[in-house]
Amino acid sequence: MRDPLHWLSIRYKLAFGFVGLCLIAFGVGGYFISQVAKGTLEAEILKRLEFQSQAYATDLHASLEMLTRRTEDFASDGYIRDHLARIVNEQDQVVADLLRGELRRHLQVNKLPLEAAFMDLTVVDAVGSVVVALADESSRNARDLALWSKDQPTSMTSNVFADPQDGSAGLVISTPVYGLLSGKPIGRLLAKVRAGIWISRAMQTDRLGRNRTVEDVRLRLNDTAGGCLLVPTTFLNYTGPAESTLPILEGRGLEVLPPGQEGVIDEDGDDDGRIYSQRFPIGGSGWEAEVRIRASRALAPVSGLQSEFLIVGGLLAVFSLMLLYFPMHFLARPLVMLRLAALRIREGDFSARVDVSTEDEIGDLGRAFNLMAEAVENNTTALEGAAKDLKERQAEVQAQRDRLERVISTMRDGLVVVDHHGRVLLSNHAAGPLLELLPDSQSLGKSRPESSPVRRQCSRDQMLNHDGAQGCGECLMDNKAGPHSCTLEFGKMVLEVHATPLPLGTNGHTGRILVARDVTLRVARDESENHQERLVVLGEVAATMAHELNNPLASISMFNQMMEAKLPKDSELLENVDVIRRNTQTCKSVISELLNYATTAAPESGLVDIHGILEDASRFLRPLAERRSVEFEWQLDAEAVEVRGDEVQLRQIFVNLVINAIQAVEGGGIVTLCSMQQGDMLLIDVRDTGCGIPKEQQADIFRAFFTTKAHGEGTGLGLPTANRIAESHGGGIELLESSAQGTCFRVRLRLATETVV
């Protein structure tokens, strides 16, 4: 930007600069200082008001809480409770009036004198009607307070009001009166409180430690309806006993304002309308203690500060002009010579020098300028030669880098080079999944994978984080670790990642070089071979079990048939015999199914009633459910329930699912069986109230030999076998939901064509 005073000599610029600096420093600076002082003072004022409002609210709440406890003590008087109950239930008006008179005398003689703050006591029934009042019984104000109190569940404080008789300020404390044998209120006791005594008692605490002779704040008590009570300073500064002073007893000076009316903050002085205020709630009564102060009084210490700064600044500006006139006369010429020499150097004439004729600071500046010009001339010559060599080497390095990048980009394996800060220095296209694995702040804007990879194998013993992608990335990029490798699953892709330290230059920093190879096909081939080996072993075990178990099952079946033949037709044991027969047959079928798990035997075809299968499974498993305190619930809404398939195999599906559901419930619960129709498919849900399946294990529950049960309690073939049976019947099994509230499996079976509605 061009100098706006370019036409003016430097000797005058410096002089005017000093003058302007003084005016700005003491004028503008004084303004900001006064504003800062004002702001600081305002902040301190607000802090003080906040503390005062909190202290006043605390003291007022303590005083009000004491009056509330006194009212509750009155309400618990058995005499009051007994007379109120008798008056409410008395049918004879004469007797009721007599009881009212006795209750009124009791309140007048035994209760009201105990508390000087109470000006009236009123007893109302449960519907809000006035039963007894000492001073104000028939007025509308008493009826309104009675109706207000009947809807209050506990002890409550009313809004402020002016007494209709003498205009004194007051409020009402309402507390329930409970019957002797009933837990519900039979009425309420209303205590009309003198606001003057309440406030003066609270001020006796003096939590502020204030000088009462110079109290300059005003106190307002705001109720829940928007009305307020103005408290004069006589109450804030009063130190004597409240009950012995008539003005305090009558609340003289207290002003009750209706909602929306502000009132006058100060009676003396010229109030400009600006005030500072802070509020704090008075306990749980709904009232607020608001402390106010007039702004003109609060900001009096900083008024006039700005004008004083301006006067001092003007005097210093005049004095600066007198001192700077003569020195400026001898500064202009040497500075002009320096400017001309600098212009010559800018144009390329590095031989430019200045003549030095003084020994002061200007002379030192000239000599330093000559030394600088000489050094610039020498360094320029050296830099021109170095620049030529640098261009030649840069071209050679660029050629080598291009060849390296071309080779790396054609690699099938992913390659990533990172520095000691974790920044990616080099990568190729095949390293896309590996870049997604790195932490966000170090992946150069790469998007994060939708799901974290699963670690299959890692050669490092101590890991930063064994769960999630960020742990793998931090592990691979740990500069303090030696060479190691790990195998990670990215969805269906399996990567073998090798991480090796990489020295970076001669400064001792070490980066990492990461190489990722896609071994998905190799892992799939290995898993397929392992699965085939397990199937071969399973076939051998199944054949052995079939041979060992078929003979005992045949004996059980034979003796069961003999027992069935000898039992009468009306015997209650026939149902047990039938259960033994069906379950013996089921055991034979299960053994056969274990053999079929490794084979592709087709199921027998026939119409099967699924609801009947569910009833048989629940009846068979009822003893197990009763031992574990499990109940069955039924929600069978499907109308078409016949499917075509093998009844024994289908029963095996639901027996496996129901057993799993019963075993998942700890300490009692519910197993719900639901059925519904969806097009030509029959949906059966088996829901339990157990603890659920951990999220990290849900993907493996249908894998053979995987089980979440304790060692020895499960083989890991139940769900895989049930799923294979469902798939062979044109359906399948899915985990619908699983959480801490329970698990739900859904079985899908295709309905028989002739039964579809």
Q: Are residues 630 and 744 in the same domain?
A: yes
pLDDT tens figures, 82-110:
888 888 888 888 898 899 899 889 989 99
- pLDDT value of residue 243: 59
**Over 70: is that where the pLDDT of 264 sits?**
no
Q: Kindly state whether residues 454 and 548 are assigned to the same domain.
A: no
Residue 670 confidence (pLDDT) above 90: yes
Residue 631's nearest CA partner among 676, 599, 671, 577 is: 671
598/338 Cα distance (integer angstroms): 99
pLDDT score for 682: 93
Q: Would the pLDDT of 150 be above 60?
A: yes
Q: Could you say which of 298, 322, 348 is where a domain stops?
A: 298
pLDDT at res. 213: 47
Same domain, 494 and 529: no
Pair (660, 590) in one structural domain: no
**Does 186 share its domain with 289?**
yes
In a domain, 559, yes or no: yes
Tell me the pLDDT band of 415, cut-offs 50, 70 and 90.
Answer: confident
Q: Which range marks the domain in which residue 606 is found?
A: 602-755
pLDDT at 469: 44
- Measured distance CA(223)–CA(286) in Å, rounded: 6
pLDDT at 183: 73
- 188, part of any domain: yes
24 is a domain residue: no
Residue that terminates a domain, selected from 232, 267, 298: 298
54 and 202 belong to one structural domain:
yes
Let me know whether 192 and 247 are in one domain.
Answer: yes
Report residue 441's pLDDT band, with 50, 70 and 90 as the boundaries: very low
- The torsion of the CA quartet 319, 321, 322, 325, rounded to 10 degrees, works out to 160
Going from the C-alpha of 464 to that of each of 214, 404, 471, 477, the distances in angstroms are 66, 33, 6, 11
Query: Whose structure tokens read 């309690």?
Result: 713
132 found inside a domain: yes
Check residues 316 and 80 and name the one with the higher pLDDT: 80
| Beta bridge pairs of residue 292 | 218, 277
Residue 448: pLDDT band by 50, 70, 90 thresholds? very low
DSSP tag of 267: S
pLDDT class of 155 with cuts at 50, 70, 90:
confident
- Quick one: average pLDDT of 31-49? 79
Instruction: Look up the pTM and report it.
Output: 0.41
Tokens 């002890």: give the residue: 155
Give the gyration radius of the chain's Cα atoms. Answer: 48
> Which residues is 535 bridged to in the sheet?
none
What total number of domains does the chain contain? 4
b/e burial code for range 304-340 (CB count within 10 A of at least 16 → b):
eebeebeeebeebbeebeeebeeebeebeebeebeee
Span 641-659, average pLDDT: 89
254, 271, 298 - which closes a domain: 298
- The answer to whether 490 and 449 have CB atoms below 8 angstroms apart is yes
Strand 681-688 relative to strand 669-678, pairing: antiparallel
Tokens of 502: 């990489």
Rounded distance, CA 88 to CA 748, Å?
A: 68
Beta pairing class for 275-281 and 484-490: unpaired
Instruction: Tell me how far apart the alpha carbons of residues 114 and 630 are, in angstroms, rounded to a whole number.
Output: 64
Q: What is the mean pLDDT of residues 319-340?
A: 67
Q: How far is CA 259 from CA 161, 198, 256, 263, 287, in A?
A: 11, 22, 10, 11, 13
Q: In the structure encoding, which two tokens stand for residue 428, read together?
A: 């190729």
* Alpha helices in 6-165, H assignment, sequence order: 10-23, 29-75, 78-89, 93-106, 140-149
CATH of the domain at 700: 3.30.565.10
How many other β-carbons are positioned within 10 Å of the β-carbon of residue 104? 18
**What pLDDT sits at residue 51?**
87
Does the structure show a pLDDT above 80 at 4? no
Give the integer Cα–Cα distance in Å for 482 and 154: 72
- Assigned domain for 427 exists: yes
**Block residue for tokens 């009791």:** 106
- Residues 419, 449, single domain; the answer is yes
The predicted structure's pLDDT at residue 463: 46
At residue 311, the pLDDT reads: 74
Cβ atoms of 446 and 438 closer than 8 Å = yes
Tokens representing residue 708 in the block = 């979440």
Structural domain includes residue 328: no
| Tens-digit pLDDT profile for residues 198-250 | 888 888 776 555 554 445 678 888 888 888 888 887 777 767 665 556 667 66
Q: What is the residue-averaged pLDDT of the chain?
A: 78
Measured CA to CA, the distance from residue 460 to residue 535 in angstroms comes to 33
pLDDT at 247: 65
d(CA 757, CA 638): 11
Question: Would you state the pLDDT for residue 283?
Answer: 83
Name which residue leads in pLDDT, 139 or 1.
Answer: 139
pLDDT attached to residue 242: 57
* Beta bridge partner(s), residue 743: 688, 738
47 pLDDT more than 80: yes
Find the CATH number of the domain harbouring 215. 3.30.450.20
Q: Tokens in use for 116?
A: 């000087």
